[in-house]
Amino acid sequence: MARYVNVAIGQLGPVNREDSRAQVVARLMKLMREARQLGADLIVYPELALTTFFPRWYIEDEQQLDSWCEASMPGQDTLPLFELARELQIGFCLGYAELSDEGGVRRRYNTSILVDKNGDIVGKYHKVHLPGHREHEPWRAFQHLEKRYFTPGDRFSVYPAFGGLFGMAICNDRRWCETYRVMGLQGVEMVLIGYNTPVHNAPAPAHDDLSLFHNQLSMQAGAYQNGTWVVGVAKAGTEEGVDHIGGSCIIAPSGEVVASCVTKGDEVAIAHCDLDFCQIYKRTTFNFDLHRQPQAYGPITRLKGETLLADGSPRVKK
Residues that bind ligand CDV (CB under 6 A): 47, 131-132, 144, 171-172, 175, 195-197, 201
Measured from the CB atom, the residue of 2 and 204 that comes closer to ligand CDV is 204
Question: What is d(CA 277, CA 253) in angstroms, rounded to the nearest whole number?
Answer: 7
SS3 annotation, the chain? CCCEEEEEEEEECCCCCCCCHHHHHHHHHHHHHHHHHCCCCEEECCCCCCCCCHHHCCCCCHHHHHCCCECCCCCCCCHHHHHHHHHHCCEEEEEEEEEEEECCEEEEEEEEEEECCCCCEEEEEECCCCCCCCCCCCCCCCCCCHHHHCCCCCCCCEEEECCEEEEEEEHHHHHCHHHHHHHHCCCCCEEEEEECCECCCCCCHHHHHHHHHHHHHHHHHHHHHHCCEEEEEEECEEECCEEECCCCEEECCCCCEEEECCCCCCEEEEEEEEHHHHHHHHCCCCCHHHHCCHHHCHHHHHCCCCCECCCCCECCCC
Measured from the CB atom, the residue of 197 and 228 that comes closer to ligand CDV is 197
Measured from the CB atom, the residue of 85 and 236 that comes closer to ligand CDV is 236
Which position among 93, 171, 261, 273 bears the catalytic label?
A: 171
Q: Verify whether residue 47 is a known catalytic residue.
A: yes
Which position among 69, 70, 98, 127 bears the catalytic label?
A: 127
Q: Verify whether residue 177 is a known catalytic residue.
A: no
Nearest distance from C-beta of residue 201 to ligand CDV, angstroms: 6
Q: Residue 134 contacts by C-beta under 8 Å, 6 or more apart in sequence?
A: 145, 147, 148
Nearest distance from C-beta of residue 257 to ligand CDV, angstroms: 18
Measured from the CB atom, the residue of 49 and 161 that comes closer to ligand CDV is 49
Nearest distance from C-beta of residue 205 to ligand CDV, angstroms: 12
C-alpha gyration radius of the chain: 19
Q: Verify whether residue 239 is a known catalytic residue.
A: no
Compute CA 138 distance to the chain's CA centroid, rounded to the nearest angstrom.
Answer: 28
Catalytic residues: 47, 127, 171
